[in-house]
Structure formats: structure tokens, C-alpha cells
Amino acid sequence: MLEVGNLACSRGDHRLFSGLSFSLHAGQIMQVQGANGSGKTSLLRTLCGFITPDEGEICWNGKPVGELGEDYYAELQYIGHLNAIKDELSALENLQMSAGLAGYTVTEQQAVTALRRMGLQRREHLPVRVLSQGQRRRVALARLLISDAHLWILDEPLTALDVGAVGLMQELIGEHLSKGGMVIFTTHQPLQVAGVQTRELVLS
């Protein structure tokens, strides 16, 4: 379970949000909403440990994440609005490199299987620079399929995806939730998972 209590975050001298509290349990999904500049991305990055909050506490399974350290970060997978992939590497190499940076290994077959599930068959060995924007996004999202993380934190995951890929993402999120996973996301596009009620957190 993820618990957030009285969280506050600023950008420079501007307070983005304060007194923010919520919890997320296994099998739940939550969309963070708000106007541009309200702090949606900052909140996600704070949950990932990239930003230190001004106030408040983030707990995982009842323990402050600061005490858990790497044990907490191993439980989450973050996909930002940027793909964070290397143009000169192939889709396969990018996926294997991402796994290595995260501290775990993935076999070539596991990586290929993930990329094909994302609709990138016959493109696994191509340099990412020759892929379309939608295909590059699929490479980034394939990291979800090779990770054992329980908590997915997704910032605009549907960017550049076509209708078919959006449907696939909804299917993958549904599978993750059915296994006891959790998802927090932002999006400007509709994202509905069949049979699951999406919770809403509005930043103002």
C-alpha cells in the first residue's frame, strides 16, 4: 500500500500543492488531474524520489520510503513523458540497458517477447532513431513488461500512441491491476480500464 500524508511541494518560490493526502491499495488505479502547472508531474516525480517534498511523508506498506531506500524504488516503475531511450541503440539494446540501470537483468528472449507484445515485431534490432514517435513510445512502455514492480507511475503514457496502442495499454494496465499491482498516471487522453473504477486526484 502507498500512503501519502500532508505532502507539500514547491517550484522555486511557487507552492504547487500542500496538505495532500491519499492512499492507494493493491488493484487500484488513480488519475492525477489538474491544470497545466498545477504540479501533476512534480507529484509523480516526488513519489519516485526525484524531488524532495517541502513537507509530508510517503510510506510504502506502512514504512517511510526514506527508510526503505532501494527496497522501495525496486517496487516502482516510472515512465515519464520523455521516453528516456538512446537513439543510436536498438529497441532490444535499450530495453536491456534499462533493466541493467534498474539493477536487474533481462534475457534477450524476455526483451524480444516484451517488444513484440508492444507491437514492435521485426523492429527489435533496428536503431531507435529510424522508428516513428509512436514506436519509440512503445519501446519505452515495454519496460513495464520486463519489470516486477508493483507500482507503476506513468506520466502521459499515451503520448504519440495510435488507437490500437492505447487499447493495448489499457489491456496491460488491467492485467497489472488484476495481479495486485497499482497504477498512478496522468493523461490528456481518455484511459479507461474495463471493470475497474479509476480514482481521481485533482490538483488545484
* Residue 69 and residue 10 share a domain: yes
Of 148, 164, 193, the last residue of a domain is 148
Are residues 138 and 159 both part of a single domain? no
- What gap in Å lies between CA 22 and CA 71, rounded to an integer? 21
130 and 193, same structural domain?
A: no
Q: Which three cell numbers stand for residue 93?
A: 539494446
Structural domain span for residue 159: 1-75+151-204
Domain count of the chain? 2
CA distance 37 to 50: 18
131 forms beta bridges with: none
Looking only at the bridges linking them, the beta strands covering 63-64 and 55-60 are antiparallel
CATH of the domain at 157: 3.40.50.300
Strand pairing category for 29-34 and 198-203: parallel
Q: Are 168 and 123 in a shared domain?
A: no
Residues of the chain with pLDDT under 70: none
Rg (CA), the chain: 17
| C-alpha span between 20 and 54 (Å, rounded) | 12
Q: Are residues 165 and 116 in the same domain?
A: no
95 and 110 inside one domain: yes
* Res 69: pLDDT: 86
140 lies in the same domain as 200? no
64, 155: one domain: yes
pLDDT (0 to 100) of residue 20: 95
Report the helix count and the strand count for the chain, using DSSP H and E: 8, 9
Residues 62 and 92 in one domain: no
At 192 the pLDDT is 87
Select from 115, 132, 148 the last residue of a domain. Answer: 148
Of the candidates 138, 126, 147, the residue with the CA atom closest to the CA atom of residue 165: 138
Query: Looking at 104, 120, 148, which one is the last position of a domain?
Result: 148
Q: Are residues 64 and 94 in the same domain?
A: no
Same domain, yes or no, for 24 and 44? yes
Exposure class string for 101-140: b at 16+ Cβ within 10 A, else e: ebeeebeeeebbbbbebbbbeebbeeebeebeeebbbbbb
Q: Considering the entire predicted model, what is its pTM?
A: 0.93
Residue 135: the pLDDT is 96
- Do 170 and 132 reside in the same domain of the chain? no
